């Protein structure tokens, strides 16, 4: 599906002797770029941000993702209730402990 883009700013960058281009401030907060060569010869750099593999499940679970989004919206509005510490449910390493693992 073709995308249309509104031009915000256009700058001219020159490659160094090895063909590299320094993106400077255009790369702030970006972990990688998806490079697309368009049929007219233009090169499009689309900024990408990766997520940790351990968080990938959330983006594949629409119900959980919607719940987190609602929680963030409620929190921003101040519509939250203190429920105390949940530390006793967290494993020290950040990994599930044996009681959280499914039986095989």
* 60 occurs within a structural domain: yes
* Residue 56 DSSP code: H
* 75 occurs within a structural domain: yes
The CA distance from 61 to 47, in Å, is 24
* 78 occurs within a structural domain: yes
pLDDT reported for residue 1: 44
Which distant-in-sequence residues (6+ apart) come within 8 Å of 26 by Cβ? 45, 47
Which is higher by pLDDT, 5 or 46?
46
pLDDT reported for residue 65: 95
The CA distance from 19 to 43, in Å, is 14
- Structural domain including 60 reads 53-92
- Does position 104 have pLDDT exceeding 50, yes or no? no
* 85 occurs within a structural domain: yes
The CA distance from 83 to 41, in Å, is 57
Which is higher by pLDDT, 81 or 6?
81
| Nearest residue to 96 (alpha-carbon basis) of 33, 61, 34, 54 | 54
Number of domains in the chain: 1
Mean predicted lDDT score pLDDT of the chain = 84
Three-class SS state of 46: strand
* 82 occurs within a structural domain: yes
pLDDT reported for residue 91: 73
* 47 occurs within a structural domain: no
- Top mean pLDDT of 8-12, 69-73, 91-95, 96-100 is at 69-73
* 62 occurs within a structural domain: yes
* 83 occurs within a structural domain: yes
pLDDT digits (tens, 9 = 90+) for 31-75: 999 999 999 999 999 999 888 899 999 989 999 999 999 999 999
| Nearest residue to 47 (alpha-carbon basis) of 37, 32, 60, 63 | 32
């Amino acid at each position: 599906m073709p995308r249309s883009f509104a031009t915000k700013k256009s700058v001219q960058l020159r490659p160094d002797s090895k063909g590299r281009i320094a993106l400077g401030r255009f790369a702030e907060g970006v972990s990688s770029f998806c490079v697309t060569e368009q049929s007219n010869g233009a090169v499009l750099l689309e900024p990408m941000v990766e997520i940790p593999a351990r968080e990938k499940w959330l983006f594949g679970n629409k119900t959980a993702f919607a719940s987190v989004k609602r929680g963030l919206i409620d929190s921003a509005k101040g519509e939250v209730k203190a429920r105390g510490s949940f530390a006793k449910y967290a494993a020290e390493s950040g990994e599930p402990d044996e009681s959280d693992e499914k039986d095989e």
